[in-house]
Structure 1
Amino acid sequence: MYGANTDSELRGDYSRARSDFTVEQSWHAYSEADHALWRHLYARQSQLVPQYACREFADGLARTDCADAVPDLARVSTALQRASGWSLVAVPGFIPDEQFFRHIAARRFPVTVWLRTPEEFDYLVEPDIFHDFFGHVPMLFDRRFADFVQRYGEQGLKALDAGALPMAARLYWYTVEFGLIDAGDGLRAYGAGILSSGGETPYSVESAEPLRVRFDMARCMRTRYRIDAYQKTYFVIRSFDELADAMAQPLAPLIERLRAEPELEPDRLYPGDVPVAPRAARLAA
């Protein structure tokens, strides 16, 4: 995600970062305790994948082959390059927005190198390597989704130049981080923020508490979000082609139109919304 969206002191070691904010991963520096914590995190989340994650995520996760240890980014990059033309670059943590957009526009996904502590097993403020890798990398093996993310990076640079970063950030938040898909196998998650969270994974699909509405690009870009709680609204696509089609057109005209529109709250429905029922309600019906 974006480096400009936190007032907290950044946690990573930026002293060794290059001008593009990449660093060496130094995989051999991870301790056995780090690898054990990774295995614990992986075991918890991977158990949720068959029931809650979309097929594309499950397929991509299997191709990462990273259940036993903190992943070696260079090794996984080789497989990812063959699948979708993407590579992984190590970064110390949050990076500036412009550099983030430039990396993903060039099909390079930034992955934080540090791992959370055992005390942060269930929650941490900044994304660590588990969030960035487990949550994001599996979907990048799917070329349709990978193309969407690259296109988002290209459009994000233009939105940044136009002073429209909040609208671009909301689009990323509600798709790449917290997106749901309602395809042939029912309501499932594909967003990294969902699938790297033990609690939000079932909550996003089954709970009656949050709102779920059909994806609409303008509605999504106007809707505020919270970073310190489960989401109040999730946007639901029918297929990844829907994301590709939405990003096929330039964002600039839409941004200009939305400048005159008010921001929307994430805890209410608005005219034109198409609600989507949680999985439990469908089963009951």
Structure 2
Amino acid sequence: MSADGQTRLTPGAGTDWTIDQAWARYTPAEHQVWVTLYERQSALLTDRACDPFLRGLEALDLHRAGIPDFARVNAELNRLTGWSVVAVPGLVPDVVFFDHLANRRFPAGRFIRKANELDYLEEPDIFHDVFGHVPMLTDPEFADYMAAYGRGGLRAMQRGQLHQLARLYWYTVEFGLLQTPAGVRIYGAGIVSSRTETIFALDDPSPNRLGFDLERIMRTPYRIDDFQQVYFVAPSLGALLEATLRDFGPIYDRLARAADIPIAALEPTDRVITLGSQAYARARAPAAQ
């Protein structure tokens, strides 16, 4: 939950932008929104989400009493992988976001959407942040990947190439797919927290689904206001981690000389898992790229 250029500290927040979750202040109606979303998504994800996500849901028992209390969640999460969830007032500056990740803290908004906004919300809420992101942080390899990404974000800012690293976050942490023995499964938070994208990401014939390629991803722009027209499928969480445990300097040097690849385009070197029809994008033209 980063916001490039945001510099004014929210009143009441600490210097690291954290705030008290104030769990006792949630209303019964707000807890019911969480329960409704949780029950709907957990049922849909049974044979669509990857096993590490499903194991994380069970390990953290996020359904116990409506909106989770971060203090309770953190006791188990810290035991498993050394991570914790911290409440923030909303989008935070990039440097704050990356520092939290690098130190194994996941910043999460504390507000929850209204009952009439179950299917779409412009700004990530606690359901997206906690239901979508936190279960994967119980997996040791993914937990290490997120910390490595945080460290990489601080370096990318120094080089002025953060926009390219942000694409890696988008196509993995938010909208990543995983190859498993049972087939392609979901691990990205932007998918697992959305009923419609959960269905679209795996079932719709429109998007391309391509094998994970670090530099290819970092050359691919993305849209934040519609379904994705390309998804990248990681061969394993271990491979995802390994791809980030390297010096990105030479990569950034190459990317500085390389053109972006249009979202729906195919490259000769792409490993095509599913060739999309792009029917959805054409139907949305001219808005679609």
Q: Which of 74, 95, 98 is the aligned partner of 1:98?
A: 95
1:36 & 1:231 partners in 2: Cα distance? 29
How far has the Cα of 1:194 moved from its partner? 0.4
TM-score (norm 1): 0.93
Secondary structure, counterpart of 2:179 in structure 1: strand
For the 8 Å contact 1:181–1:190, the answer to whether it is kept is: yes
Is residue 25 from structure 1 mapped to residue 21 from structure 2 by the alignment?
yes
2:67 & 2:249 partners in 1: Cα distance? 40
Is residue 4 from structure 1 mapped to residue 4 from structure 2 by the alignment?
yes
Aligned match of 1:60: 56
Is residue 42 from structure 1 mapped to residue 43 from structure 2 by the alignment?
no
Is residue 274 from structure 1 mapped to residue 271 from structure 2 by the alignment?
yes
User: What are the within-5 Å matches in structure 2 for residues 109-120 of structure 1?
Assistant: 109-120=106-117
For the 8 Å contact 2:90–2:109, the answer to whether it is kept is: yes
Secondary structure, counterpart of 1:123 in structure 2: coil
Q: Which aligned runs of 4 or more in structure 1 are off by greater than 6 angstroms? A: none
Aligned match of 1:179: 176
1:71 & 1:94 partners in 2: Cα distance? 20
**Considering only aligned residues, what root-mean-square deviation do their CA atoms show, in Å?**
1.5
How far has the Cα of 1:89 moved from its partner? 0.6
User: What are the within-5 Å matches in structure 2 for residues 70-81 of structure 1?
Assistant: 70-81=67-78
Aligned match of 1:206: 203
Deviations 1:210-268 (A, max 9, x none): 01100000000010000000101000011111111101102121011101101111112
For the 8 Å contact 1:104–1:150, the answer to whether it is kept is: yes
Cα gap change, 1:248 to 1:212, in 2 (>3 Å): same
2:122 & 2:5 partners in 1: Cα distance? 11
Aligned match of 2:221: 224
Where structure 1 has 5 or more consecutive residues not aligned to the other structure, the ranges are 279-285
Secondary structure, counterpart of 1:261 in structure 2: coil
For the 8 Å contact 1:85–1:107, the answer to whether it is kept is: yes
Aligned match of 1:283: none
Secondary structure, counterpart of 1:182 in structure 2: strand
TM-score (norm 2): 0.92
1:175 & 1:41 partners in 2: Cα distance? 23
1:93 & 1:151 partners in 2: Cα distance? 23
User: What are the within-5 Å matches in structure 2 for residues 131-210 of structure 1?
Assistant: 131-210=128-207
Aligned match of 2:231: 234
1:5 & 1:141 partners in 2: Cα distance? 31
2:11 & 2:205 partners in 1: Cα distance? 46
Paired letter, 1:4: D
How far has the Cα of 1:14 moved from its partner? 2.6
Aligned match of 2:255: 258
Secondary structure, counterpart of 1:81 in structure 2: helix
Deviations 1:176-220 (A, max 9, x none): 000001111211000000000000002101111001100000000
Deviations 1:124-149 (A, max 9, x none): 10000000000000000000000011
For the 8 Å contact 1:159–1:252, the answer to whether it is kept is: no
For the 8 Å contact 2:174–2:188, the answer to whether it is kept is: yes
Aligned match of 1:282: none
Cα gap change, 1:228 to 1:5, in 2 (>3 Å): farther
How far has the Cα of 1:5 moved from its partner? 8.2
1:246 & 1:229 partners in 2: Cα distance? 28
For the 8 Å contact 2:5–2:93, the answer to whether it is kept is: no
Paired letter, 2:200: Y
Aligned match of 1:281: none
Secondary structure, counterpart of 1:131 in structure 2: helix
The number of equivalent residue pairs is 273
Deviations 1:260-280 (A, max 9, x none): 1011111121121111138xx
